[in-house]
Amino acid sequence: MPRSVPAHEWLSQQDEALCIRMNQASRIRWICRTLRLISRLADGAFWYVLMLAILAWPGQRSMIPFLHMVITGIVCTLLYKWLKVKTARPRPSERNQAVQRAVSPLDEYSFPSGHTLHAVAFTLIAIYYYPALSAVLLPFTVLVAASRIVLGLHYPSDVLAGVVIGSAIASVSLLLW
C-alpha cells in the first residue's frame, strides 16, 4: 500500500480492481450462462425447494429445521434491506463503465449481497441438521457468492459482508434455537 493513499481508499481501489477482473469472466458465454442460472436459483427458488424437501423429510423433526430456516430467512431479509437503504452503495456498473452487468438487479443498492447473505445463512442451518447436504450446499453457496461479482452486481466487499452477516445470523440463530 502506497504511503500517500489512506488505507480505506487503498482497500476501495483493490475492491474495485478485483471486481473488474472477476467481471471479465462474464464475457465467457458458458460461465455467464451458468452463473446467471445459479443467481436466478438463489433468488429464492432453490431455497424454497430445499425448505419444502426438508419439510417432506421422513420423521416428525423436519418441522424444526424448516421453521428455523423460515425465521432466519425473515431476519436476513429485514436486516439486509435495512442495511442497503442505510448504506445506499451504488452497484459497481453504476460507478465504473468497465463493469458490465450481465443481469438486472433485484434492488437498487449493492451493500451487502443479499443473495450471499441468505445462501450462507441457509447453508449453515441446513447442514447443521443434515450434514450430508454440505456436498451440494457448500459448492452452490460458493457459486452464488462468485456469481454476484462476476455478473457485475456486487463488489467483493459486498459479498464478503454477506458471508460475515449470514454467518453471524446463522450462528446466533443456532445458539438461540
Domains and CATH numbers, the chain: 7-176 (1.20.144.10)
Say what the pTM is: 0.91
Confidence of residue 130 (pLDDT cuts 50, 70, 90): very high
> pLDDT tens across 32-79, in order?
999 999 999 999 999 999 999 998 877 658 888 999 999 999 999 999
- CA torsion sign for 48, 68, 129, 159 is positive
CA–CA gap between residue 151 and residue 123 (Å, rounded): 22
On whether the CB atoms of residues 127 and 167 are closer than 8 A, the answer is no
